[in-house]
Structure 1
Amino acid sequence: MTNLAATGGVPGPGRIGRVVIGDLLKRAARRFPDRVAVTDGARQATFTELERDANRFANYLAARGMKPGEKIATICNNSVEFVKALFGIHRAGLVWVPVNTMLPPADMDYILDHAEVRFALIDDNLHAQPERRAALQTRGIDLIAVDLVGLAGAAGLKSFGDLLQGRSEIEPDVDIDDRDLAMIIYTSGTTSRPKGAMHCHLAVVMAVMSNCIEMQLSRDDGITGQFPLFHCAGHVLLLSYLSVGGRMALMRGFDPVACMEAIVRDRLTVFVGLSLMYQAILDHPRRKEFDLSGLRCCIYTMAPMGRPLLERAMADLCPNFVLSSGQTEMYPATTMSRPEVQLERFGNYWGESLIVNETAIMDDNGNLLPRGEIGELVHRGPNVMMGYYKDPKATEQARKFGWHHTGDLALIDGNGEVLFLDRKKDMIKSGGENVASVRIEETLLAHPSVQNAAVVGLPHPQWGEAVSAFVKLKPGAAASEAEIAEHCRKSLGGFQMPKLVRIVEEMPMTATGKLRKVELRQAYADYFAQERA
């Protein structure tokens, strides 16, 4: 400190040199005040409007007595109001806790309790769901509503838009450090309950800068926004495009016609989606009505795309396709493939490491392995999470040997590309959602006729992986596969529901009595391909 002072320096950057999420919008608004930043169907919002209302919401939160570091949840699907609220939360120095709106009320309640949330923003149509509303009332959460369908007033909720009226448009004076906790995003793990990945402002901003460079973004770019903003992927894409003066066309869920309309209407240059979304657009009877030639790049994520579909999409939509991959614990993306090699390598190739993080393969003893050898995929860089909230043991396990452990088995080939092989932890990635097999197994075992259960992800041409359940019934018990599926439907979210329920006579077991799920995966690997045929 003395030596620094002697050179005329200061001990910390303070506001002059800080790195925080809220400043991304502020700088963009100063550069591009009148440019459209987000659209929501026919609605538009400029950078100035977002900046003004973000400050208004931040000032409202401060007036409510919320202090920097306190938690605020959002239970929202994509909307202009959600974007404004997000930046207001970041601007106020609060800790954002997004809730996946597709989770069942019990998981929502767990997240709110675990994160100690006392204040939340919710879409009025989600609040209207009886089970969700009852859970929120029981917990006593202080709510304000995004009035999407006009139900807020009747429910006695204060409207987000009304609360902004009369608030100051000047940014609140809040000291925020780049290592301050900015968000806790809960991700389904291999345990029965979600784990909260903690990220600081620096991690998110560094991920944004990396994406801007790797995707070669410019102020002329616009991207489809069907990915939910409560996911890290949707959030970081929004920040990345707005940072350079680009735009996002917000959507609540995926509809192929709505996507094509937005590409044309909003002059979008980038489409990002799952393989099944590309398939739906290409197969849609109205496809030829829309001129999609403005697309300069198409990004697919979560799972590789089969060669026939990729070749068709490159010929019909855009010649430049890239696969991007990451995870909530490593603010995305971590790897990306190059468009010029798309037709050279097929299978689970995830591409090269991005500039924001290092990527390596490690054995169980912490030794880094050379190219071509199989081990666990590990990363390190400024985009790694601070840890799991209230779970020091899981944090320690995830950070062994000074690297973040993904739980994925992979190798790095001679071209420097990651080839995913299998998962060390039983996580299923289906339709863009992480599904913990343990959670489904617990539900299955709660059925009075089920003795044993195993849940695996099977290859699926649309969903990447399909949640597939195998059960063994208790001696003398009777139940049909349809009855077991209906039992699951009562307590699981839609994306957690098994797409296959199969009653088996015996489960494959090891000599020590552990399930051998690999045998189920191998035996049924072609099930959904045969079903489609």
Structure 2
Amino acid sequence: MGNGSVPESPGYQRISRIALGDVLHRAARRFGDRAAVIEGDLRLTFKALDSASNRFAHALLAQGMSAGDRVAMLCENSAQMVIAMFGVYKAGLVWVPINTALAVDAIRFILDHAEARHLIIDAQLLARELVHDLVRSLGVPLTFCGGEAELGAGQPDTPPEVPIDGRDLVQIMYTSGTTGPQKGVMHSHASIHSVLMSNLVEFGTGPDGDVYSCHLPLFHVGQHVVLLSALLGGAASVLMRGFDAGELLKAIARHRINLVVGLPMMYRALLDHPRRASTDLSSLRLCIYAMAPMSKPLLMRLLDSICPRFALCSGQTEMYTAATIFRPEQQLKRFGAYWGVATLVNELGVMAEDGRLLGPGEVGEIVYRGPNLMLGYYKDPEATAHAWRFGWHHSGDLGQWDEDGELLFLDRIKDMIKTGGENVPSIKVEDVLLRHPAVRNAAVIGLPHERWGEAITAFLLVDAGQQVTSAELHAHCRQHLGRFEVPKEFVQLPALPVTSTGKVQKFELRRSHLHHYEEQA
């Protein structure tokens, strides 16, 4: 021990361990009777949540499950979902959350690919005939969330004695991304735990207890990490099964919510809701947005009418979020697709194709390194090795530093449109389109074109009751864009294909409109 070496004692890992289940266990010892999760009229204290998850952990182990076994979960937000998730963590098992909006074939793929030995399913989802048929065909044990039955009824409410190493696999989260098939992203207890403490500092969570909203799905990295960060810091989380502007407004006023995480389109819905003006929003101290840019007019309205402080947080399932933050004090100093700076937990860089780290003004791939890094892609060592070239995790995003050391996000690498010999970031065009008062959402892609190579094409969702012509949109874009950056066509759709968290799936637009210009020839 005197030479500074790591002790080999078998008790060392038990004493020094990092385990996600301990986040709740230790919080319960400190915050006890403080509310941990709120769902409607239900308020579960830290102590009650801890005890309930202990019982469910024992129930899973009693079924013969052992360390490393995969437990899949197909649930929407609820207190029982949180209990079950922590039960999985405490039993030393691997949590595999599944997006409830996926098609049955995609759900079955995840169950098979992850080799799930148990499925926890939201009883309300069984009303969907295809889900009901899928469940009946599975050959794995099931646990149903919802109803009157208590998870783990009759089991001990003390923590199970399970050895856990911080580097153990704890979670496989399948990405829903915008560029193609899902991958299973593996994380350890330590990688997720490292970012929780960073988030508490970045969010400014105080010891007296905040109240967070929880309306984004918990099977997604953004809401999942916010919930765990809240529990670590003694904050309560108000659980909702999805986003509804009216319900969120009521929840903010009723529960005095301090922190909200949402998409720009959600904040706009709050602004436009008829009850917004009569709702007391004075408890809000920080609103976080992600996954899409915020236009200047929208941000100015939000700061005036919703919350005095907004911040953009970004990250990836692979690099647990938040990995970057565009701080509240920067929001009115510069506009555009800024991601800001690295959070406390990790390092951030912009890299050339040959591995050189680039300086201000140079365009390259955004890369990360830090303890919040995934263990790798499940059953895909080639993809893992490719993502970790030159000793950094490669995000697949293009960016550049400005002269003040702030990171500017330019585009997904596959979303950089090459048209007529010019490179055009689709996000730049989208930002301009979103400034038009009739445009609610926009997705810009490059489609094959005989003359241009790729023709810039805008797909738009227009506000109900609004009408706008292609000529008007063209004139609007010409005020803010170079001639070669203006879309060749503006296609208005009744809906855009999106993930469960509202992120537009551009690969679906490409797939369905691949021959758009050929058909016009």
1:314 aligns with 2:337: no
Cα pair 1:190 1:427 within 8 Å, conserved: no
Structure 1: which amino acid aligns with 2:37?
V
Bigger drift between 116-125 and 375-384 goes to 116-125
CA deviation digits over 1:61-103, x for unaligned, max 9?
Answer: 0000110100001100100000111111111110000001111
TM-score (norm 1): 0.79
Per the TM alignment, residue 314 of structure 1 is displaced from its structure 2 partner at its CA by: 0.3
> Which residue is 1:168 aligned to?
156
In structure 1, the partner of 2:374 is 385
Distance verdict in 2 for CA 1:313–1:189, change over 3 Å? closer
Q: State the partner residue of 1:280.
A: 269
Distance in 2 (CA, whole Å) between partners of 1:505 and 1:266 is 52
Q: CA deviation at 1:162?
A: 3.7
2:280 corresponds to which of 291, 308, 321 = 291
SS in structure 1 of the partner of residue 116 of structure 2: coil
TM-score normalised by structure 2 residue count: 0.81
Q: What whole-Å deviation, never above 9, does each CA across 1:443-467 have from its counterpart, x for those lacking one?
A: xxxxxxxxxxxxx988374876548
Give the equivalent residue in structure 1 for 2:398: 409
* SS state at 1:206 partner: helix
1:59-70 to 2 correspondences below 5 Å: 59-70=58-69
* 506, 512, 515: which one aligns with 2:518: 506
2:244 to 255, 266, 273: 255
- What corresponds to 1:117 in structure 2? 116
> Is 1:77 aligned with 2:76?
yes
For residues 5-60 of structure 1, what are the alpha-carbon distances to aligned partners after superposition, in whole Å with 9 as ceiling and x for unaligned? 7x988587322111111111111101111111111122111101100001000000
| Displacement of 1:188 | 3.3
Offset from partner CA, 1:109-139 (integer Å, 9 cap, x none): 1111100012111111212312122233333
Matches within 5 A, 1:368-379: 368-379=357-368
On the 8 A contact 2:177/2:505 being kept in 1, the answer is no
Aligned-partner residue type, residue 63 of structure 2: R
1:164 CA displacement:
2.0
Other structure's SS at 1:14 match: helix
Once the 2 structures are TM-superposed, how far is the Cα of residue 350 of structure 1 from its aligned partner?
Answer: 0.8
1:97 corresponds to which letter in structure 2?
V
Q: Note if 1:58 corresponds to 2:47.
A: no
How many residue pairs get aligned? The number is: 455
Relative to structure 1, the CA distance from residue 314 to residue 134 in structure 2 (aligned partners, 3 Å threshold; closer, same or farther) is same
| 1:181 alignment partner in structure 2 | 169
Measure, in 1, the Cα distance between the counterparts of 2:122 and 2:386: 37
CA contact (8 A) 1:103 1:493 kept: no
Q: Distance in 2 between matches of 1:172 and 1:311?
A: 51
Alignment of 1:515-530 (within 5 A): none
Correspondence 1:112-261 to 2 at 5 A? 112-148=111-147, 161-188=149-176, 192-218=180-206, 219-261=208-250
1:47 alignment partner in structure 2: 46
Contact 2:217 2:501 in 1 (8 A): no
What displacement does 1:304 show?
A: 2.0
1:350-371, Cα deviation, whole Å (9 max, x unpaired):
1111110000011011111112
**Which residue number corresponds to residue 22 of structure 1?**
21
Matched residues in 1 for 2:289 and 2:363: separation? 25
| C-alpha distance in 2 between matches for 1:113 and 1:191 | 22
Q: Distance in 1 between matches of 2:501 and 2:337?
A: 27
Report the equivalent of 2:94: 95
3-state SS, counterpart of residue 140 of structure 1? coil
Given residue 209 of structure 1, which amino acid in structure 2 is its aligned partner? M
Structure 2 residue aligned with 1:530: none
Amino acid at match of 1:506: E
2:355 matches 1:349? no
Distance change in 2, residues 1:22/1:278 (3 Å): same
CA contact (8 A) 1:121 1:145 kept: yes
One-letter amino acid matched to 1:266 = H
Task: Give unpaired runs (5+ residues) of structure 2.
Answer: 418-425, 450-458, 460-492
Further displaced range: 379-388 or 458-467:
458-467
Gaps of 5+ in 1: 149-158, 429-455, 473-480, 509-533
Question: 1:146 offset after TM fit, Å?
Answer: 1.0
What amino acid does structure 2 have at the position aligned with 1:44?
A: R
Cα shift at 1:468: 7.0
The Cα shift of 1:193 comes to 2.9
Cα–Cα, structure 1 residues 276 and 163, in superposed 2: closer, same or farther, change >3 Å?
Answer: closer
- Aligned-residue identity in percent: 47
| SS of structure 1 residue aligned to 2:95 | strand
CA contact (8 A) 1:190 1:426 kept: no
User: Structure 1, residues 183-207: CA drift from partner, whole Å, max 9, x if none?
Assistant: 0000135775310010000011001
**Correspondence for 2:36:** 37
CA contact (8 A) 1:111 1:194 kept: no
Look up the SS of the partner of 1:39 in the other structure. strand
Distance 1:290 1:191, change over 3 A: closer
Which residue type is aligned with residue 516 of structure 2? Answer: V
1:270 paired with 2:259, answer yes
RMSD after superposition: 3.0
Helix, strand or coil at the partner of 1:331 = coil
Deviations 1:326-374 (A, max 9, x none): 1111010110011111111111101111110000011011111112211
2 CA distance for matches of 1:115 and 1:4? 40
